Amino acid sequence: MKYDIKKLTLDEKIELLVGVDTWHTSSLNGKLRQIRMSDGPNGLRKEGDDGKIVSSTSMPTLSVVANTWNKELAYLDGQTIADDCVENDVDVLLAPGVNIKRTPLNGRNFEYFSEDPVLAGTLAKEYILGVQDKGVGTSLKHYCLNNREIDRIAISNECDERTLNEIYLKPFEIAIEANPWTVMCSYNPVNGVYMADNKEMLNDVLRDKLGFKGMVVSDWGAVKNGYKSVKANLSLRMPFIDFGVDEIKKGYEDGKITEQEIDEAVNYILELIEKVENSKKEISFTKDERHNNAVKIAEEGIVLLKNDGVLPLNKNKKYFINGDDSKSPIITGGGSAACKTDYKFKRLDLMLNEEGFNATSDQIIIRDDFVDYITCGHSSFKKAYESDGVILVINAPINAEAHDLESIKLYKRIEKVITETCKYNENVIVLLFAGSAIDMSGWIDKVKGVLLVGYAGEGVNEAIVNILTGKTNPSGKLSETFPLSLSDTPTGEDVDNLMVDRYKEGIFVGYRYYDMLKKDVLFPFGFGLSYSNFSYSDLEVKKLSETDYEVSYNITNNSDYDGKEVSEIYVKDVMASLSRPEKELKAFSKDLIKAHQTKRVTVKLDKKAFTYYLTAKHTWFLEEGYFEILVGGSSRCNFLKAKIYITPEEYDFSTHTVVKNGFWLYNL
Ligand code: BGC
């Protein structure tokens, strides 16, 4: 190590453990290089010296990146944001977030990938590699169980060990394979202990079990007790707090922490400084290229949910665009993820006309529930009636940090604009700007088309136009279930009380819950339409070893359009001796399949695809028995199926007893 901890005094070491301002580490009076950190997940959000946010490329939010199901695009996303970081002297990007979408009410769902740990972790890993390959560090956040914003600083999130490991830690475990330089601990207590003080979670689990090797930074203001957090192996307290240093000093003087514990925390910071100094920072995209990357990701992250023959648009028809102003689209949610772009948006109708389509627009602003649709919709309905089709730009209630949503419905008046418009025109297409799942029960049957735009960054209008016109064949699929209503969700409408949120649904989160109860949903996890029609056939599962399998199958594009198809591989444990989800996503692939062509797709499954977390042993366990491999284009479809029987090579018979029906029963 270049920096020798022995050359630092105790006072200097303690000073280094607390940020020097909102975004920097201390330089110890010029002895060390300072580290500059900045948000955030969907573009650089750097606060300049004047306190203003600098402009950067506004990329699609991670919820949209997740809807691409495209590992290369997650990597490209990271690479693009890193260029803005390099250009602005940012050393560590405070992203990505991999918290699981436990409820659609969570105000930060737009910052997170999915309800499924494998999808979230796999894409986060690529994003981290993308950023760090450019010499910029990342901060994997918010570790952990920060699944709602309501009273995030106080509510203890409580869940059992199996659920913690199978659902909530899993995306961290997968993303940690990319060696993020830092992990950010969340505000909330976990099982009664604040994360910043939680030695078991920050040290024993994060380091020893999940294999994290970098530095732990607190979420901004998450440290409640300076010396306890040192004991818990948290290195950096952000941002600066004037009592931060004194509190740690007092803890040391009172014998609550040792110098060795302080050194351990300091060493991680010194290692990070060295990483920052040694990294070769590179810019590879021009500003225009970064914008084009934003368009490319948005195009694949927008999901076509309904299309009763209205898309792509027809050059011989007349379209009327109404709803929210398409010249100022919602491109991100609020809070620390809200970056600022200087990109100048054009109205959708003008863009469509440039492509040879016939579109006019009458943009009314219906962003909240206070605008009377009648006063802003008089002439609109006339124009709707005179057109062949209407495109409605619809904003759902905005998602933002530090707030949860109260409902997953659109504002009543906005629903009314949709249903009223449908009375005047039978070809209504909704462009839905939303940060998480929406209950569409009030209007879905009346409209002919729905494109889930999400918060798709500064490339959003180009991406929409390319999809509407058919230049781009939509290929996004949902990374979260759209339930029929909020009351159908595993968490329903409320948290337990103001102190504790018990994760009562256990491992049955997202599609695992709807599958278990055989509940109908509006749109299932993994669902998304295309202008192509794909069919699956010829599934073959080749055994490579007792626990490694190669799964291959054909996908045929039965259409005149070239198109990309996301294929999803689920595993069902047929003979488990404890309750397991009906099926779980274990792999996926996204492939371009030319019109009328067939492609053979191959993916691999290893032991992790079959294990569950055995609480009694505090570890993962592979149980002998039958498993089904299910392959298809959504979590609810006509799957191709294959059966395999696994006998684990190393089977610890001493801890198990066989019962008559052939199931293994734990003898623990
Ligand atoms: C957020 C983090 C963010 C940090 C710095 C916190 O309030 O939870 O995600 O990185 O602020 O802005």
| Closest C-alpha residue for ligand 1 atom 11 | 220
**Banded model confidence at residue 367, pLDDT cuts 50, 70, 90:** low
Dihedral (C-alpha) 651, 119, 218, 330: value to the nearest 10 degrees?
Answer: -170
* 506 backbone φψ class: left, alpha, beta (φ>0; ψ -120 to 50): left
Contacts of 589 (CB under 8 A, 6+ apart): 566, 567, 569, 601, 603
* Whole-number pLDDT of residue 242: 84
The 10 Å Cβ neighbour count of residue 646 is 19
Q: DSSP label at 5?
A: G
Q: Which of 12, 80, 1, 72 is nearest to 42 (CA)?
A: 80
| pTM of the predicted protein model | 0.96
Once rounded to an integer, what is the mean pLDDT over residues 647-654? Answer: 62
Mean pLDDT of 56-81: 98
Alpha helices in 429-510 (DSSP H): 460-469
Q: Does 302 or 243 have the greater pLDDT score? A: 302
Q: How far is CA 650 from CA 68, 546, 577, 624, 654, in A?
A: 38, 10, 18, 11, 12
Mean pLDDT of 338-342: 96
Cα of 220 from ligand 1 centre, angstroms: 6
* Cα gap 410→368, rounded to integer Å: 9
Choice from 46, 94, 186 to test ligand 1 binding pocket (greatest atom count within 8 A of CB): 94
* Span 370-413, pLDDT tens digits: 554 444 569 889 999 999 999 999 999 999 999 999 999 999 98
The fraction of the chain above a pLDDT of 90, given in percent, is 88
The pLDDT, as a whole number, for residue 404 is: 94
pLDDT of residue 226: 85
At residue 191's C-alpha, the angle toward residues 190 and 192, to 5°, is 90
Nearest-CA residue for atom 3 of ligand 1: 336
Section 424-437 average pLDDT: 98
In contact, 25 and 240? CB cutoff 8 Å: no
Write down the pLDDT at residue 377.
Answer: 60
pLDDT for 369 = 55
Say what the pLDDT of residue 176 is: 98
Distance of CA 572 to the CA centre of its chain: 24
Expressed in angstroms and rounded, the spacing between residue 44 Cα and the centre of ligand 1 is 13
Mean pLDDT of all residues in 655-668: 39
The Cα 69–Cα 303 span in angstroms is 11
Confidence at residue 656, expressed as pLDDT on a 0 to 100 scale: 46
For atom 9 of ligand 1, the residue with the nearest CA is 336
Task: Report the nearest atom of ligand 1 relative to the CA of 40.
Answer: 10
C-alpha 42 to ligand 1 mean position (Å): 13
Q: How far is the CA of 94 from the centre of ligand 1 (A)?
A: 8
C-alpha span between 257 and 222 (Å, rounded): 20
Nearest to 195 by CA among 186, 204, 203, 182: 186
Residue nearest to atom 4 of ligand 1 (CA): 220
Residue 32, pLDDT > 50, answer yes
Please check whether residue 149 is in contact with residue 402, taking contact to mean a CB–CB distance below 8 angstroms: yes
pLDDT of residue 667 exceeding 50, the answer is: no
Can you tell me the mean pLDDT for 35-63?
96
**What tokens were used for 455?**
């918060």
Atom of ligand 1 nearest to the CA of 187: 8
- Summarize pLDDT for 525-576 with one digit per residue, the tens: 999 999 999 999 999 999 999 899 999 999 999 999 999 999 999 999 998 9
pLDDT for residue 624: 92
Which residue's alpha carbon is at the smallest distance from atom 6 of ligand 1?
220
Mean pLDDT of the chain: 94
Please tell me the distance between residue 498's alpha carbon and the centre of ligand 1 in angstroms. 22
Q: Are 441 and 485 in contact (CB under 8 A)?
A: yes
* Residue 665 predicted with pLDDT over 50: no
Q: How remote is the CA of residue 336 from the centroid of ligand 1, in Å?
A: 6
pLDDT value of position 373: 47
Query: Mean of the pLDDT values across residues 134-139?
Result: 98
State in Å: Cα 39 to ligand 1 middle.
7
Could you tell which of 23, 236, 336 is best to mutate to test the pocket of ligand 1, judged by most ligand atoms within 8 Å of the CB? 336
Does residue 522 have a pLDDT over 50? yes
Residue nearest atom 5 of ligand 1, based on CA coordinates = 220
Question: Residue 657 pLDDT more than 80?
Answer: no
Of ligand 1's listed atoms, the one at least distance from the Cα of 45 is 12
- Residue 650 makes CB contacts below 8 A (sequence gap 6+) with none
Angle at 606 between CA 300 and CA 652, to 5 degrees: 150
Task: Supply the angle between the helices 287-301 and 460-469 in degrees, to the nearest 10.
Answer: 50
Report which protein residue has its CA nearest ligand 1's atom 8. 219
Alpha carbon distance 245, 198 (integer Å): 20
**Residues 174 and 125: beta-carbon distance below 8 Å:** yes
What three-state secondary structure class fits 654? helix
- Atom of ligand 1 at shortest distance to CA of 239? 5
Question: What distance in angstroms lies between residue 277's CA and the mean position of ligand 1's atoms?
Answer: 24
Nearest-CA neighbor of 541 among 495, 610, 494? 610
Report the residue among 53, 111, 140, 219 best suited for mutation to probe ligand 1: largest number of ligand atoms under 8 A from its CB: 219
Read off the pLDDT of each residue in 69-84 and give the average, rounded to a whole number.
98
- Cα 642 to ligand 1 centre (Å): 45
Would you tell me the crossing angle of helices 373-386 and 412-424 to the nearest 10 degrees? 30
What is the DSSP pairing of strand 449-452 with strand 428-433? parallel
Q: Which residue has the tokens 């504002």?
A: 411
662 has a pLDDT exceeding 90: no
String of DSSP letters for 353-369: HHTT-EEEEEE----ST
Edge-first strand order for the sheet with 549-557 is 534-543, 549-557, 598-605
Assess contact for 176 and 239: CB atoms under 8 A: no
Q: Which helix (H) or strand (E) holds 277?
A: helix 259-278
Give me the pLDDT at residue 614, please. Answer: 94
Res. 251 pLDDT band, cuts 50 70 90:
very high
Q: Report the nearest-CA residue for atom 2 of ligand 1.
A: 219
Q: Is it true that the peptide bond before 40 is cis, omega within 30 degrees of 0?
A: yes
**H helix intervals, 194-235:** 199, 226-231
Which band of pLDDT confidence, cut at 50, 70 and 90, is reported for residue 516?
A: very high
Greatest CA separation for the chain: 81
Provide the token pair at 300.
């694949």
**Nearest alpha-carbon partner for 330 in 395, 384, 247:** 395
Give the residue numbers annotated as catalytic, written as ranges: 219
Please say if the pLDDT value at position 495 is more than 80: no
Tell me what percent of the residues of the chain surpass a pLDDT of 70.
94
Q: Is the dihedral of CA 602, 606, 612, 618 positive or negative?
A: negative
Confidence of residue 362 (pLDDT cuts 50, 70, 90): confident
Look at residue 447 in the predicted model and tell me its pLDDT.
98
Question: Cα–Cα distance between 236 and 254 in angstroms, integer?
Answer: 21
pLDDT the model gives residue 663: 41
Mutate to test the pocket of ligand 1, among 112, 220, 339, 399 (most ligand atoms within 8 A of CB): 220
Supply the residue whose CA is at minimum distance from atom 7 of ligand 1.
220
Determine the atom of ligand 1 nearest the C-alpha atom of 39. 10
Determine the pLDDT at residue 457. Answer: 98
**Ligand 1, CB within 6 Å, residue ranges:** 39, 94, 141, 219-220, 336
3-class state of residue 130 by DSSP: helix
Residue 152 CA: which ligand 1 atom is closest? 8
Atom of ligand 1 nearest to the CA of 142: 9
pLDDT band, very low/low/confident/very high, at 159 (cuts 50, 70, 90): very high
What single DSSP character describes residue 203?
Answer: I
Both structure tokens of 120 = 């979230």
Residue 529: strand, helix, or coil: strand
Residue 666: pLDDT over 50: no
Give yes or no for residue 222 having a pLDDT over 60: yes
DSSP secondary structure letter of residue 488: G
User: Strand ranges (DSSP E) for 396-512?
Assistant: 428-433, 449-452, 500-502
| Cα 433 to averaged position of ligand 1 atoms, centre (Å) | 23
Cβ atoms 607, 548 nearer than 8 A: yes
